[in-house]
């Protein structure tokens, strides 16, 4: 089996595992959730973009709004060839265990390296964020996300080419590390498709499996998400 076929087999396996967890175990632990949002980006010049994202998260099988955040920043593209740098600020409102709304101020720095691995388009993002939390200690956190974009790009046929122009599949894994001495805190496994809806408008439809460290065990949530992406 050549490298491309091996990579394809691995991607399909990840998709099946993720889908099976969402379909078969969608009500374990914290159960099923629905996340939805809108992302806007506008070019300021050839290399700089202004970005803004608004997201809502509904838990309790998609029936209870428990979190909302707004995120805006500047993205400098091709800082060093295939390296993008982003400076952002996020305002988070989230319910605590007593169903009270709490807020968090979260500035973050993002470094994304884009390239190819075994002929596949990949992106490697590092995020450094400071969490200024209400009624909790402040916390530094590091997040690492690895994404394989358009995993079937190497397939070559007229039918695949037409599908590829409108639908772009991706898989990703993101790991969270708390810098307060506790270390590893969370993992997210993504599987999704970017859909070209119109000029400058796309939709991101995805499944997400999140696993948190919880008093020596794990706590899982399973998410169906959709984000509307608008670019200028």
Q: Using one digit for the tens of pLDDT, what is the confidence trace for 163-219?
A: 667 788 999 999 999 998 788 999 999 999 999 999 899 999 999 999 998 766 668
The DSSP string of 10-63 is: HHHHHHHHHHHHHHHSTTSTT-EEEEEEEEEEEESSSSEEEEEEEEEEEETTTT
Q: Express each pLDDT in 109-164 by its tens digit.
A: 999 999 988 878 899 999 999 999 998 999 999 999 999 986 555 555 565 566 66
- Length of the chain counted residue by residue: 232
Q: What span, in angstroms and rounded, lies between the C-alpha atoms of 153 and 149?
A: 9
Query: What was the pLDDT predicted at 95?
Result: 94
Query: What was the pLDDT predicted at 174?
Result: 98
SS3 4: helix
Query: What was the pLDDT predicted at 71?
Result: 98
Domains of the chain: 3-231 (2.40.160.40)
Select from 77, 70, 8 the least CA-distant residue to 39: 70
Q: Which residue has the tokens 């993101």?
A: 174
pTM for the model stands at 0.81
Cβ contacts of 100 within 8 Å, gap of 6 or more = none
Query: What was the pLDDT predicted at 130?
Result: 98
Q: Express each pLDDT in 154-166 by its tens digit.
A: 555 565 566 667 7
Residue 162, strand partner residues: none
Q: Express each pLDDT in 40-85 by its tens digit.
A: 999 999 899 999 999 999 998 777 899 999 999 999 987 778 899 9
Q: What span, in angstroms and rounded, lies between the C-alpha atoms of 87 and 55?
A: 18
Query: What was the pLDDT predicted at 164?
Result: 65
Phi, psi of 161 (to 5 degrees): -60, -40
Q: Count of H helices and E strands in the chain?
A: 2, 11
Q: What span, in angstroms and rounded, lies between the C-alpha atoms of 160 and 164?
A: 6
Q: Express each pLDDT in 11-42 by its tens digit.
A: 555 555 454 444 433 333 467 899 999 999 99
* Mean per-residue pLDDT of the chain: 84
């Amino acid at each position: 089996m050549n490298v491309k076929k091996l990579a394809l087999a691995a991607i399909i396996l990840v998709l099946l595992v993720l889908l099976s967890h969402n379909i078969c175990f969608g009500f374990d632990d914290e159960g099923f959730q629905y996340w939805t949002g809108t992302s806007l980006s506008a070019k300021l010049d050839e290399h700089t973009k202004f970005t803004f994202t608004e997201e809502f998260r509904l838990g309790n099988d998609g029936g209870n709004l428990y979190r909302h955040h707004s995120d805006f920043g500047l993205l400098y593209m091709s800082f060093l060839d295939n390296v993008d740098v982003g400076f952002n600020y996020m305002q988070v409102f989230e319910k605590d265990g007593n169903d009270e709304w709490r807020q968090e101020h979260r500035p973050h720095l993002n470094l994304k390296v884009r390239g190819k691995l075994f002929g596949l388009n990949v992106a490697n993002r590092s995020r450094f964020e400071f969490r200024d939390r209400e009624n909790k200690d402040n916390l530094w956190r590091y997040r690492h996300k690895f994404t394989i974009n358009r995993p079937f790009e190497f397939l070559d046929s007229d039918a695949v080419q037409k599908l590829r122009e409108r639908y772009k599949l991706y898989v990703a894994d993101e790991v969270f590390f708390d810098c307060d001495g506790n270390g590893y805190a969370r993992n997210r496994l993504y599987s999704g498709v970017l859909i070209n809806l119109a000029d400058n408008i796309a939709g991101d439809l995805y499944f997400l499996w999140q696993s948190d460290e919880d008093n020596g065990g794990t706590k899982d949530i399973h998410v169906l998400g959709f984000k509307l992406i608008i670019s200028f």
